[in-house]
Structure 1
Amino acid sequence: MGELQKISILGCGWLGLPLAEQLVSAGYTVKGSTTSPGKLELLQAKNIQPFLINLQDENLEKQTLADFLDSDLLVLNIPPKLRSDGGESYLHQMHILLKALLDSPVNRLLFVSSTSVYQDLNRTVTEEDIHFTKEADSDNMLLKAEDMFTEREEWITTIVRFGGLVGGSRQPGKFLAGKKNLPNGDAPVNLIHLDDCIAILQRIIEEQEWGKTYNACADKHPMRKVFFTKAAESLGLTPPEFNDMEETHFKLISNKKLKDDLSYLFIHPDPMLFF
């Protein structure tokens, strides 16, 4: 297990809960947070130390957050809801967390991010291409959050930028079923299965790959119109309809750095076999 023994996972939802279960089975002491009181018993039943933490709650007790952060490693897994207020509330939550972290023993941080931080460059995109976002979209809330934690010297942060998340309860056939006049049908998809998300995060922890940034998505990138048509049909749903476009805007996310550093082979390398 290496030097890390106690792990806190902020956000035990679609990804955080099965990740917590996997880490418990690997022998780690795991604390898990939820914003739902009804989920506390579920976490407890899975041998995950449960914490009710909502960073948007003005009445959140500082001691509760301090007890949750009494760990070696924090897995930060709160997806920002950027459409509601442009990400302002998300950044506010991150500032609250940052302040609490400064008074905690956490010395490693695993930040779950997204490939949505990259610009559509109409080519293969690597981790180094984030500088285009910094130039064109300096107010990108997710990128600001990444920088907020990577720039600190009190801990070492590794960022994992996941592609589109599928698997488990997230069935891609439902995403676009029945919709019409959709753009970019010829664009490649950048997707990753839940099983690979869990395995990659565990591998980073076990191999102690800290101070890194990784793109994480499946090896293959079928066209949107091909993938989402098959995904809908696999569920017996009406397939989406895409417009014919003279110009396609896209990014094809490279996972080469992750595979090289971690010697990682994807469990689900081809999204066309997700169904």
Structure 2
Amino acid sequence: MKETIGILGCGWLGFPLAQSLVEKGYRVKGTSTTVDKCVQLTAHGIDAFHIAINENDIAGDWESFVNGLDQLLINIPPRLRKDDTASYVSKVELLLKNLPKNQRIKIIWVSSTSVFSDLQETITDQTVPQPDTESGKELVRAEECIQNSGFPFTIVRFGGLIGKDRHPIKYLSGRKNNERPDAPVNLIELYDCISILEECIHREAINQSINAVHPEHPSRKAYYVDAAQSRNLPLPEFNETDQRSGKCIHPDYLLENWKYIFQVRP
């Protein structure tokens, strides 16, 4: 019998991952902060829980959600722009405190390459984060909570997430004076996100973080001009005087240790 997987946050990434795991025979428990989404989860064979994590309490049937879990995938990114008063790290500390200590739950933590600054340029899995944004700083502090929780864990730092209905060219198309034309892109497609997280579920916890970014890094100008042309959209224009290079993130652990083969070019 396959394990029971909990997915805390069944949004753009968590929902299709949950569907894929159900199709593979796992029992999947998923959460959402809206009742309508819970109805949708149930319709796809996912045990749905209406749960919201606040700074000081967890609303919903948290005990039923975590009871019997073998693995817990936490996918709750900080939304500082939407709620400047909420402490992201406090929420992470609260949910970890309320995990049952008598269950050896493996944690898979979905993080982001925003923990690195553009000034760090060449980034490997061994690079120490030096975030230059508030959300990046919050993510680093949250990662430290996971690392010190006492639970086995794997932290996955995804690059820019793209998919059929989600692509940055929609916002850059036709725009002028876009920055950093020569900087490399660090992107990953939804299919590979799901595949990598499933690999994390299949494998033992590695108690470290890994970068999950497609290994090809064309320049921003080359990539987004091509993306616009392939979609018959107005081309973006770039500020050619902006010579900043930006960061280039390498998924060394995935390529060398797991021999992972990326399936979709962003």
Whether these two folds match at TM > 0.5 is yes
Aligned to 2:160: 164
2:207 is the counterpart of 1:211: yes
The partner residue of 1:67 within 40, 64, 68 is 64
Letter in 2 for 1:144: R
Deviations 1:48-82 (A, max 9, x none): 000111113977546x0111112111100112113
Deviations 1:147-197 (A, max 9, x none): 1111121x1111000000001321332131222211101100000000000
Aligned to 2:145: 148
Q: 1:246 to 1:178 in 2, by over 3 A?
A: closer
Aligned-partner SS, 1:109: strand
The count of corresponding residues between Structure 1 and Structure 2 is: 265
Deviations 1:16-42 (A, max 9, x none): 011111111222110001112111221
Aligned-partner SS, 2:28: strand
Measured after TM superposition, the shift of residue 213 of structure 1 is 1.3
Aligned to 1:180: 176
Aligned to 1:91: 89
Aligned-partner SS, 2:72: strand
Q: 1:95 to 1:21 in 2, by over 3 A?
A: same
Contact kept, 8 Å, 1:33 with 1:53, in 2: the verdict is: yes
C-alpha distance in 1, partners of 2:209/2:43?
34
Runs of 4 or more above 6 Å deviation: none
C-alpha distance in 2, partners of 1:87/1:221?
36
Q: 1:105 to 1:175 in 2, by over 3 A?
A: farther
Aligned to 2:232: 236
Measured after TM superposition, the shift of residue 127 of structure 1 is 1.9
Percent of pairs identical after alignment? 40
Aligned to 1:190: 186
Aligned to 1:8: 6
Aligned to 2:122: 124
Q: 1:156 to 1:54 in 2, by over 3 A?
A: same
Q: 1:32 to 1:84 in 2, by over 3 A?
A: same
C-alpha distance in 1, partners of 2:189/2:59?
36
Q: Which has the higher helix share?
A: 1
Deviations 1:204-254 (A, max 9, x none): 211224313110111100111111122223333222211013531411101
Contact kept, 8 Å, 2:115 with 2:137, in 1: the verdict is: yes
Normalised to the residue count of structure 1, the TM-score between the two structures is 0.87
C-alpha distance in 2, partners of 1:80/1:119?
17
C-alpha distance in 2, partners of 1:193/1:150?
27
Unaligned runs of 5+ in 1: none
